[in-house]
Amino acid sequence: QVQLVESGGGLVQPGGSLRLSCAASGFIFSTYGMSWYRQAPGKERELVATISNAGSPNYADSVKGRFTISRDNAKNTVYLQMNSLKPEDTAVYYCNLRVVVIKVWGQGTQVTVSS
């Protein structure tokens, strides 16, 4: 069964950085693109960044230039390096497969950006 476990969230001040990790299992990780999503209180889940199985990244305009998605196929892990964080980035962050999104989401990891 597909399992996705997010970690690395926390409380940071505006302008700070965090590195999120998503440990994946239950599928051949190296053959699938992966994505990061986020959901703020009272808002819908939104797509933040994607990375293809070959490592090609794409980003939402709101995070472009500040966030970097990467993957380590040997560790079955996808990362999201978040720099220059803004209060608007506060949300629960989730990972999932890119093309075939599984319906059972992980717990996500809370990112709070506040002074």
Q: What is the pLDDT of residue 103?
A: 86
DSSP class per residue in the chain: --EEEEE--EEE-TT--EEEEEEEESS-GGGS-EEEEEE-TTS--EEEEEE-TT--EEE-TTTTTTEEEEEEGGGTEEEEEE-S--GGG-EEEEEEESSS--SS----EEEEE--
pLDDT in tens, 35-66: 999 999 999 999 999 999 999 999 999 999 99
Its sign, for the CA torsion 29, 50, 48, 90, is: positive
For residue 41, how many other CB atoms are within 10 A of its CB? Answer: 7
Lowest mean pLDDT among 30-39, 67-76, 100-109: 100-109
Q: What is the pLDDT of residue 104?
A: 86
